[in-house]
Structure 1
Amino acid sequence: MTDLQRQTWEHRFASRAQNINASEIRDLFALLGNSDIISFAGGFPDANLFALPQFRYGYQKLLEDSPAIALQYCASEGYLPLRRWIADFMRRQGVDCSPDNILITSGAQQAIEFLSRLFLDKGDPLAVSKPSYLGALQIFNAYEPDYHFFDGDGISIASPGADKTRPLKLIYANPDFSNPTGETMDGTARRRLIDLARANDAPLIEDGAYRSLRYEGDPHPTIMQLDIADCGSIETSLVVYCGSFSKTMTPGLRIGWICAASQLINKLTLLKQSSDLNSSTINQMVMHCVADEMFDASVNISREVYRQRRDNLIRALEDHMPDNVNWKKPEGGMFVWLTLPKGIDARTLLAKAIAVEKVAFVPGRPFHADGSGGNTLRLCFSSCPLDLATEGVTRLARLIAAETAELHAMA
């Protein structure tokens, strides 16, 4: 964009538009089609695992048998059979609910956007993990909140400049195999967040996008389940659960959902009506058909493939990374989070990694709402074949070792 183009448009934008910026991940998407680059960047599921025959059959059958329904508008709340399926899925997660507690959204991203629009005014105190999901931060930034932070144990972190006298307005957590760190909150951490929500009378968004992708260990109860056990009903729970089929079935249909008290769902439905009327009817119908037939079987296949890729990545890190690079083995999800030696900036490292070693990752700073985390980075293992992942880690380790040696030489 030229300086003249900026002058032509920027003065016309609303003030909040200054907080709408491109993400590191968006800029890296162009690399995914470059066969010369080994990419740990985009947090994509493996397209080879999509249930292509079932999706193809679902579209064909609906267009043959029910085109007048499939190609028409539907209720803003969403396709009722799919909402019933999701309500049953949530009951399997320990959450007693009905279709009245479900709103279908265009992915979990739209769910977070609606909740931000509903609850956040400029300057409102918002608590997020540090680091936190970049897609959520991009949404939150547009509403100009006053950020407060907690760590993976649900413990508050000092937030310089944050107003401690005002109660929190909203809390956002990604408790299972979080993006970007891969961490999972234990039961104690989840209860700390419930206590935080109750003490501030603040809604708590539970982002469950990766919850089904567990490879070892026993699952922890959802935060919503724990809160309902205390308060007695989803209708009095402060927790708002955001789910998605993007990581378990396919992201291309853009089907997510919000599970919450019916009064809140009713209000969110009005936002849905004013935003896009309804999510694609035929996509909802096809997702219902495929999920009803084979959700568990499909997820089990993904778990096995991703578990092998996680283990392979961890072995490669153990075999090749310098001793001064730290990481933790995630119990599930798609990500491994690396902490580099102080003095190495991951964004600068990325430019060299692409140019010299032909390997890509996501720098960690954008996942930190306060701009910290320059020496961290995220590796995604879900869509990278075993041999390429091993080679990619070998290349990245070689570059980090060289950067470390250069730092020592300058000291």
Structure 2
Amino acid sequence: MMDWEKVFATRASRMKASEIRELLKLLEQPDIISFAGGIPDVNLFPKAEVAEAYAEVLSGAQGDAALQYSVSEGYKPLRDWIVGEMSRIGITCKAENVFITSGSQQLLDYLGKLFLSKNDTALVTWPTYMGALGAFNAYEPNYDKLIPLSNREPQTYIDQASEKGGQVKFAYCVPEFHNPTGVTMTRAEREWLLDLAEKIDIPVIEDAAYQSLRYEGESVPPILALDLARNGNDIEKTRTFYCGTFSKTLAPGLRIGWVVANSDVVRKLVLIKQAADLHSSTINQMVIGKVAERLYDEQIAKIRKTYGHRRKKMLEAMDRHMPAGVDWTRPEGGMFVWVTLPEGMDGASLLAQSLKSERVAFVPGKAFFADGSGANTIRLSFSCATDTMIEDGIARLGRLIAAQKKAAA
């Protein structure tokens, strides 16, 4: 038989199965209460409007173009819509600063490919979005902790990267309702990050997947907006990549994401796109564009109302049912609550027992740490859970944690 390990590239050893992808298979089991996948509720998808847009595109003058090859930068009317949407959150740009990708996950892969050579260092939060780690891992980097407002000297990042045989190449963060913790970076923390990036001279990757999902509290300017303010509102002088997506607002299955950045780097990303898959689906871009123009604000309002209610119910259930010694975040938006278990309790072991005895699923936190730490953490998602699921599932989980804590005493 063929010895495949012998011919795989060295990077293949760092490709790991997503724990979330595997846990999503549990959704097929009707007796499982799942707080696992951070996915949108299918009942909120604008299905009728999407169907209408497809029919309109295919039956109209755009029908042939919708099924044809297209430009790598992305469908121009959609890019123009994004320019307008960005202006509403303080980001001034032009269509040439916008690049469409097949979901923002593809963009993370492209940015890893563009910046990371083997043994270079990526600065990431601890924990961080596991999809970003999966995308970057293929390019064999090292990771260093990005801890906002820390007093660490910028030169130490450079020195440690050099000791490992590379350079610091970028800082990556999810500033709004962070996946997995749900925490939002303050304005001071964002300014600190830009200060650090300027001192080290690296770009900042701002993963804004949850930008629109705020349910309470005051909004904070995007990092790119703050970067623009420092540079005379000239996007060509900025160092921040704003990564957006329609997956959390309209529909993930259409796989449409985007980046806003200076045009020089956008042109480099276009070259990667041309070599990878030529362009994102033309018809999907046209459909997303029509749906966004017609009901984006209405859709956001519907999502905020539904998810905001579920977030409130989960936090109330946590207050009622979690035993002493368990801590959790209280996010103002997004899809996640991050739970820190008593010291010594393992999230993966807890999941195995939970599936067996309580039939409740969640994501062990260890997968979100670049160094494999964080064993006593778990992530809960409320986006697809009904009131009954939340009350029952959190009660079961709290009971199990209390029992394991008692047994370990």
TM-score, normalised with respect to structure 2: 0.96
Matches within 5 A, 1:61-76: 61-65=56-60, 66-76=62-72
**Matched residue, 2:126:** 130
The 5 Å alignment of 1:153-192 reads 153=149, 162-163=160-161, 168-192=168-192
Contact 1:149 1:156 in 2 (8 A): no
Residues 87-124 of structure 1: per-residue CA shift (max 9 Å, x gap): 11111110110100000001110111111100000111
The answer for the alignment partner of 1:310 in structure 2 is 311
**Post-superposition, which runs of at least 4 consecutive aligned residues in structure 1 deviate over 6 A?**
none
- Find the counterpart in structure 1 of residue 138 from structure 2: 142
Alignment of 1:5-404 (within 5 A): 8-65=3-60, 66-151=62-147, 153=149, 162-163=160-161, 168-232=168-232, 233-404=234-405
Measure the CA separation in 1 of the matches of 2:136 and 2:122: 9
Q: Output the CA distance in 2 between the equivalents of 1:376 and 1:153.
A: 23
Q: Is the 8 A contact 2:161 2:168 kept in 1?
A: no
Q: What SS does the aligned partner of 2:269 have? A: helix
Q: Structure 2: any 5+ residue segments left out of the alignment?
A: none
In structure 1, the gaps of 5 or more residues are none
Q: SS at the partner of 1:252?
A: helix
Query: Residue type of the partner of 2:308?
Result: R
CA contact (8 A) 2:217 2:332 kept: yes
Equivalent-residue separation in structure 1 for 2:113 and 2:63 (angstroms): 34
CA deviation after TM superposition for structure 1 residue 8, in Å: 3.0
Q: Secondary structure at the match of 1:318?
A: helix
Q: Deviation digits for residues 114-150 of structure 1, max 9, x if unmatched?
A: 1110000011121000000000001111212121112
Question: What code does the residue aligned with 2:115 have?
Answer: F
Shift of 1:167: 5.3
Q: In 1, are the aligned partners of 2:54 and 2:287 still within 8 Å (CA)?
A: yes
Q: CA RMSD in A?
A: 1.6
Following the alignment from structure 2 to structure 1, what is the Cα–Cα distance between the partners of residues 186 and 14? 33
Q: Is the 8 A contact 2:49 2:291 kept in 1?
A: yes
Aligned equivalents of 2:332, 2:167: Cα separation in 1: 34
DSSP-derived class of the 1:217 partner = coil
Contact 1:40-1:379 at 8 Å conserved across structures: yes
Identity %: 49
CA drift of 1:151 comes to 2.8
Q: Secondary structure at the match of 2:254?
A: coil
SS of the equivalent of 1:274 reads helix
1:248–1:299 contact (8 Å) kept in structure 2: yes
**Count of equivalent residues:** 402
- Residue pair 1:155, 1:189 contacting (<8 A) in 2 also: no
Counterparts of 2:151 and 2:255, CA distance in 1: 33
Asked if the contact 2:241–2:261 (Cα under 8 Å) also holds between the matched residues in 1, the reply is yes
TM-score of the two chains, using structure 1 as the length reference: 0.95
Query: How far off is 1:162 after superposition?
Result: 4.2
Cα distance change, pair 156–245 in 1 and its aligned pair in 2 (3 A) = farther
